[in-house]
Amino acid sequence: MSLIGKEVVDFKVQAYQGNEFKEVTKADILGKWSVFFFYPADFTFVCPTELEDLANKYEDFQKVDCEIYSVSCDTHYVHKAWHDASKTIQKIQYPMLADPTGVLARGFDVMIEEDGVAERGSFIVNPEGKIVAYEVIAGNVGRNADELFRRVQASQFVAEHGDEVCPAKWQPGAETLKPSLDLVGLL
């Protein structure tokens, strides 16, 4: 079953950001674009490479009014401990959401129940709180922040220009398509 168009579940979780703890709720994500970036656990192998990749791209996401929320089933205390112990994780400026009860992991359908951790899932959520794009991949394969950013930009473009669609590898400023019978199967 597809999650496209599914509204984000109501939630209230703790987060670690900017050397402090804070609460993040569903109300906080409404009105702007969001990326929920699930990963299995802190103090692991592939996860810090992905989170650093996102940290290096965070300013670009901010420029297009999109907030990044990394999410694992660890507590906010573990996020802080990882931040304090790792030079890589110290680069992170976006909120690191704590999901020890799995409310978000289950709400986005990425919870691995027998392990108590989340799959590697990336979800683009529009300002109305609905999922417009996502991918879930095996735990042993890292993701690419550049491609995720491109998908955010494409999602924003089609939300603004409902009569146009973005072809493969589309970048802002590139030509888009207007769906018509003339284009069916001819490209």
How far is 37 from 32, CA to CA, in rounded Å? 16
Of the candidates 128, 119, 122, 114, which has an alpha carbon nearest to the alpha carbon of residue 147?
Answer: 122
Of the candidates 44, 104, 26, which has an alpha carbon nearest to the alpha carbon of residue 71?
Answer: 104
Under a CB-based contact definition with an 8 Å cutoff, are residues 129 and 116 in contact? no
66 is catalytic: no
Residues 6 or more apart whose Cβ sits within 8 Å of residue 1 = none
Q: Which residue's entry shows tokens 């989340």?
A: 118
Q: With H, G, I as helix, E, B as strand and everything else as coil, classify residue 20.
A: strand
Of the residues 47, 66, 73, 166, only one is catalytic, namely 47
Q: With H, G, I as helix, E, B as strand and everything else as coil, classify residue 117.
A: strand
Catalytic positions? 47
